């Protein structure tokens, strides 16, 4: 199993650009989520999904969009990047209430 994979690992954007962060898992987990990690703020939940076709907002959803067309994939879209979105983004997946597995992260800088 590859576990949870994320691409890209690093990205630099200009303000106003859009992009998609990719996330995939091969563990057949129904629950997937996106977090952003900022110094002193811990991990904050952006969006999550409890299964294909079902998504919901987390704590900090503004400026981000998600979709879940398959069990494996859960891309995160930045609609119009802003400097405040400079962060490290982690995708995660789990089965029910069990252990959550994290991807390696994407370090995003918005200039």
Q: Which residues bind other proteins (CB under 8 A)?
A: 31, 33, 35, 40-45, 48, 50, 56, 58, 90, 92, 94, 96-100, 102-105
Our CB check for other proteins shows the closer of 5 and 65 to be: 5
Our CB check for other proteins shows the closer of 17 and 50 to be: 50
Note whether 17 and 109 are within 8 A (CB).
no
User: With the C-alpha atoms ordered 3, 71, 64, 55, is the resulting torsion angle positive or negative?
Assistant: negative
To the nearest whole angstrom, how small is the minimum distance from the Cβ of residue 17 to other proteins? 25
To the nearest whole angstrom, how small is the minimum distance from the Cβ of residue 56 to other proteins? 6
To the nearest whole angstrom, how small is the minimum distance from the Cβ of residue 89 to other proteins? 11
CA–CA distance, 13 with 63 (Å, rounded to integer): 14
Our CB check for other proteins shows the closer of 14 and 96 to be: 96
Nearest CA among 100, 93, 109, 91 for reference residue 7: 91
Q: What are phi and psi of 84, to 5 degrees?
A: -65, -10
């Amino acid at each position: 199993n590859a576990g949870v994979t994320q691409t890209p690992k690093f990205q630099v954007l200009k303000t106003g650009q859009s992009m998609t962060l990719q996330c995939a898992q091969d563990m057949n987990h129904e629950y997937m989520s996106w977090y952003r990690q900022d110094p002193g703020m811990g991990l904050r939940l952006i969006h999550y999904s409890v299964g294909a076709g079902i998504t919901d907002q987390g704590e900090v959803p503004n400026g981000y969009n998600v979709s879940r067309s398959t069990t494996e994939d859960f891309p995160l879209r930045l609609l119009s990047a802003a400097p405040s979105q400079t962060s490290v983004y982690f995708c995660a997946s789990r089965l029910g209430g069990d252990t959550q597995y994290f991807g390696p992260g994407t370090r995003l800088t918005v200039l």
